[in-house]
Amino acid sequence: MIGWRFGCYATQVKAKITVTPKKAVLDPQGKTVQDALAHMGYKGVEAVHVGKYLEIELQDGDKAAYQKQIDDACHKLLSNPVIEDYHFTIE
Amino acid sequence: MNFAVLQFPGTNREQDAVHILKNVLGHSANLVWHKQESLGNVDAVIVPGGFSYGDYLRTGAVARFSPIMQDVQRFAASGGHVLGICNGFQILCEAGLLPGALVRNKSLQFRCEHVFLKTATRNSPFTAKIPEGTLMRVPIAHGEGCYFADEKTLNDLKVKDQILWQYSDAKGGLTETANPNGSLWNIAGVLNESRNVAGLMPHPENASEPLLGSADGRAVFESLVHSLANRANFQPA
């Protein structure tokens, strides 16, 4: 039994979304983290990209339908296609 | 003229915009709450600065879906004049009404200071009355004002004369040190292709009276008023 909520339905499906800055976009956070890692002595770090991770809990349902819905939401709201890329899984 | 000044949760410069339009320039300006579905009968819309929805997710990303923005889309599509300032610029970019996007300042710092702006074109309803060859000294106050657009979009902006303002030094030089946020091509403000929607990161409304240390920004609003009075000149193609 997983995730019983106030409405007494089980949250069984989860969309896991990763949003990252496009390569062409300046990523000063990534650069700062990269410099910090180098300063700490970690070897071999070539680039760091700082993005976002989102989890959306969904009611048990048709994953294919959710796939379409989440892709639409990623395109319209969760990412900005001008500056970001996204990918997601539905589990 | 009758102006609508939008107000989202987290907007904080709406009174400044109303003040310049109403008290300084003597026009009618009314706040329009973001949940309203209609702008009413207005001549132009100002999307003011602030931190709509706490800048959650991305600046302007949530505000862009507020009910009033549907009517702003309609208003802009029918040739209505819309000016976005600071967060308003970010909202208009998110809404797809302006090209490009605003990302985190290159310095990662929130920058609050006066800058010089070079007007790149006076062929717009927002710059027509800015005295030729002059620079505007206006304040900025933002953490995410780094203008980004892909190469093709940037070239289109240049070819179609859609760059309105660029950060410059006191002599008008578009130098890297004069660029407070890392914006590509020092871009501080742009125009849409139809030339009726504009946005900029700096705050001309906060530099519109000598008491505020600079009255240079006033020319932006005077341009808009002048253009609305002669709007046949700026009808979108």
CB within 8 Å of B107: residues ≥ 6 apart:
A28, B181, B182
Are the beta carbons of B61 and A29 separated by less than 8 Å?
no
Residue A1 C-alpha, separation from nearest chain B C-alpha, in angstroms: 32
Residue with tokens 């003040």: B19
In chain B the domains, ranked by start, together with CATH numbers, are 2-229 (3.40.50.880)
Tell me which residue in A24, A29, A78 faces B108 most closely, judged by beta carbons.
A29
With a pLDDT cut of 70, the percent of chain A lying above it is 88
Identify the band that residue B133 occupies on the pLDDT scale cut at 50, 70 and 90. very high
pLDDT at B233: 52
The ipTM assigned to this model is 0.86
**pLDDT value at B84 more than 90:** yes
Chain A residues with a Cβ under 8 Å from any Cβ in chain B: 21, 24-26, 28-29, 32, 77-78, 80, 82-83
Tell me which residue in A25, A29, A77 faces B148 most closely, judged by beta carbons.
A25
Decide if B49 contacts B87 (C-beta within 8 A): yes
What torsion do the CA atoms of A27, B201, B150, A76 make, to the nearest 10 degrees? 80
The separation between CA B186 and the C-alpha centre of its own chain, rounded to angstroms, equals 15
Size of interface A-B (CB pairs under 8 A): 36
SS3 state of residue A78 = helix
Cα separation, B53 vs B12, whole angstroms? 11
Are the beta carbons of B100 and A21 separated by less than 8 Å?
no
pLDDT at A9: 55
In chain A the domains, ranked by start, together with CATH numbers, are 12-90 (3.30.1280.10)
Q: Chain A residues with CB inside 8 Å of B65's CB?
A: 77
**pLDDT value at A8 more than 70:** no
What does A16-53 look like in DSSP terms, one character per residue? EEEEEE-TTS--HHHHHHHHHHHHTT----------EE
Instruction: Share the mean pLDDT of chain A.
Output: 90
- Pick the residue of A83, A84, A85, A86 with the most B CBs within 10 A to test the interface with B by mutation: A83
pLDDT at A40: 97
Burial (CB count within 10 angstroms: exposed 0-12, middle 13-18, buried 19+), residue B8: buried
Decide if B182 contacts B141 (C-beta within 8 A): no
